[in-house]
């Protein structure tokens, strides 16, 4: 029986990862997925995790540590493979890697409309922080 293999992203994964993100509706007009991958490969590339099942990329988590907090972006599990524990597994790996780096806390940003992701994160132990999330674009 196959099992989920979680490892760092490799160059040959690009098409599979971009397809996964499209299938999970994570590709938005203001973010180019290929540029986002290339940028991540320059910083803590080993923390860009993918999950492989039966040779197919079915999960991803773009993990980072800024020296104070850990961050997760592009958490995705292929819709055909959701609710099988793969999201929990890739997050456990992300948490292990961040813990090894001495990271004391992980922050995640979830769109308020993304009820499923909120339910997922709550079920794996994340709590609502009483903060307002703000952002400012630095690119033109
Ligand atoms: C969020 C996501 C990664 C969860 O992945 P997953 O592999 O389905 O999650 P798991 O199977 O590990 O779920 C673990 C637990 O989370 C909770 N959970 C997961 N999905 C849920 C949902 N849609 N509704 C309610 N609870 C959910 C459940 O408690 C689940 O345990 P159970 O299946 O035994 O009930 C996946 O739904 C996804 O890729 N969504 C689209 C992309 C996205 O929104 N990413 C997050 C951006 S912030």
Per-residue pLDDT tens over the stretch 1-54: 689 999 999 999 999 999 999 999 999 998 899 999 999 999 999 999 999 999
Q: Whose CA is nearest to atom 40 of ligand 1?
A: 76
- The predicted model scores a pTM of 0.97
Ligand 1 atom having least distance to the Cα of 78: 39
Please give the class, per CATH, of domain 5-123: alpha beta
Ligand 1 atom having least distance to the Cα of 77: 39
82 lines ligand 1 (CB under 6 A): yes
SS (H, E, C) the chain: CCCCEEEECCHHHHHHHHHHHHHCCCCCCCCCHHHHHHHHHHCCHHHEEEEEECCEEEEEEEEEECCCCEEEEEEEECHHHCCCCHHHHHHHHHHHHHHHCCCCCEEECCCCCCHHHHHHHHHCCCCCCCCCCCCCCCCC
Q: How far is the CA of 88 from the centre of ligand 1 (A)?
A: 8
**Mean pLDDT of the chain, nearest integer:** 97
């Amino acid at each position: 029986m196959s099992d989920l293999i979680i490892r760092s992203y490799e160059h040959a994964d690009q098409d599979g990862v971009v397809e996964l993100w499209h299938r999970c509706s994570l590709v938005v007009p203001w973010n180019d997925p290929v540029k986002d991958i290339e940028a991540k490969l320059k910083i803590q590339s080993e923390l860009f995790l993918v999950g492989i099942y039966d040779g197919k990329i079915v999960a991803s988590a773009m993990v980072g540590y800024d020296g104070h907090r850990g961050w997760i972006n592009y958490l995705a599990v292929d819709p055909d493979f959701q609710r099988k524990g793969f999201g929990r597994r890739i997050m456990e790996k992300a948490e292990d890697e961040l813990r090894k780096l001495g990271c004391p806390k992980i922050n995640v940003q979830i769109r308020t409309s993304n009820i499923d992701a909120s339910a997922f994160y709550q079920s794996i132990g994340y709590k609502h922080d009483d903060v307002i999330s703000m952002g400012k674009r630095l690119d033109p």
